[in-house]
Amino acid sequence: MEEVRSSTAWVVSHSFHVVVDSSGLEKAVDTIEGSVPKVEWDFEGIHYFDNGPLTVQYLFVLDALNFCFWPDKDLSYDNLALGLREAIQNDKSVLDADRLQKYTGPQLRELLKWPRPLPLEDERIRLLHEVGKELEKNFGGKAVNLVSSCGKSAVALVALVTRHFPGFRDHSVYKGHQVFLYKRAQIFASDLWSAFKGQSYGEFNDIGAITIFADYIVPAVLRYLGVLRYSSALASIIDANREIVSGSEEEVELRACTVYAVEKMRELIKIKYGKQVLSVELDLWLWSFGIKCPSLQHHRTLSIYY
């Protein structure tokens, strides 16, 4: 994920609205004494898992739709994970590639037992169709074939996913420079690694290469911890729940500074405490902390990427 690291570092060095506070960062690392509090994947008990290929199909579809829950205050990621789990439990063929290509908005709602239109529902449908079509065309309809062809490399998996599925190409242009974030592609690799406990379809020799997943929860946690500081203009937009346009400098800075800050945390933990930690572990700790604090204000951007 070299392109994610280098392009986000470039944003940090040109950032205006968001600053990575090195003393805040050091304090956060010292508070945990370099040991990332362990959080179990699926601590919520909401995901489908059968230790086989259907779990891979489930996680791929889940991460294809893993974005933008906030416009509906009652909707969260849990509804998606649980809704898809129940749908599979009722009908094992519900995520077959041919069926993915045919869902309509109302059918997806029915599948998730969601009583009203989902945020960005037309985009969710478009992405489901894209996943079904491309899986069928190049991977025999199965996400598991995507994973098997990656030689136990998470980096290769992210590259393959982003090459074949345009909806996963999470990048922006910032001050003329292309910035890569790849949140949903990386979270798919991480979900596999965590769910299968680094074995079978989750065995990746380079899981340490994955960066944090720049969503809207983790930046809010880093701000709360004093790791990120915002300009007063940006702080007032976020605190007033005003929308930030996708691709704006503010949005790219929020996401890029988040990736960079967590990479710096990793480095500092190594230097001060001699421990090698993964961004995936830091992510789960920070994210789970964030969703347990609903009072944390997060930025609001309509986006298919997170």
Q: Which is nearer to ligand 56B, 97 or 165 (CB)?
A: 165
Task: Evaluate whether 27 touches 272 at the Cβ level (below 8 Å).
Answer: no
| Shortest Å distance, C-beta 105 to ligand 56B | 20
Q: 281: phi > 0 → left, psi -120 to 50 → alpha, else beta; which?
A: alpha
d(CA 210, CA 194): 13
Phi then psi for 96, rounded to 5 degrees?
-65, 150
Q: Residue 78: beta bridge partners?
A: none
Any contact of residue 139 with ligand 56B (CB under 6 A)? no
Contact pick of 69, 174, 180, 204 for ligand 56B (by CB under 6 A): 69
| Shortest Å distance, C-beta 231 to ligand 56B | 23
H-assigned helices in the chain: 2-14, 22-31, 53-64, 77-90, 97-100, 105-112, 121-138, 143-148, 154-164, 183-195, 218-224, 232-239, 249-273, 279-291
Q: Is 21 tagged catalytic?
A: no
d(CA 113, CA 42): 21
Any contact of residue 186 with ligand 56B (CB under 6 A)? no
Any contact of residue 67 with ligand 56B (CB under 6 A)? yes
Q: Which is nearer to ligand 56B, 86 or 136 (CB)?
A: 86
Any contact of residue 217 with ligand 56B (CB under 6 A)? yes
Contact pick of 170, 209, 283, 301 for ligand 56B (by CB under 6 A): 283
Any contact of residue 72 with ligand 56B (CB under 6 A)? no
Q: How far is CA 109 from CA 14, 84, 112, 117, in A?
A: 42, 11, 5, 7
Q: Which is nearer to ligand 56B, 271 or 293 (CB)?
A: 293
Any contact of residue 48 with ligand 56B (CB under 6 A)? no
Give the per-residue contact string, 88-127, with ligand 56B (x = CB under 6 A; - = no). ----------------------------------------
Any contact of residue 43 with ligand 56B (CB under 6 A)? yes
Question: Which of these segments, 102-110, 124-132, 171-179, 210-218, binds ligand 56B (CB under 6 A)?
Answer: 210-218
Within 8 A by CB and 6+ apart from 279, the residues are 208, 210, 211, 212, 262, 263, 266
Phi then psi for 199, rounded to 5 degrees?
-115, 170
Q: Which is nearer to ligand 56B, 69 or 174 (CB)?
A: 69
Taken in order 98, 103, 109, 113, is the CA torsion positive or negative? negative
Catalytic residue among 170, 191, 215, 283: 215
Contact pick of 66, 186, 211, 301 for ligand 56B (by CB under 6 A): 66
User: Which among 109, 177, 102, 87 is positioned nearest to 132, based on CA atoms?
Assistant: 102
Size of residue set near ligand 56B by CB under 6 A: 21
User: Binding residues for ligand 56B, per CB under 6 A?
Assistant: 41-44, 66-67, 69-70, 76-77, 191, 213, 215-218, 283-284, 287, 291, 306
Residues with active-site annotation: 215
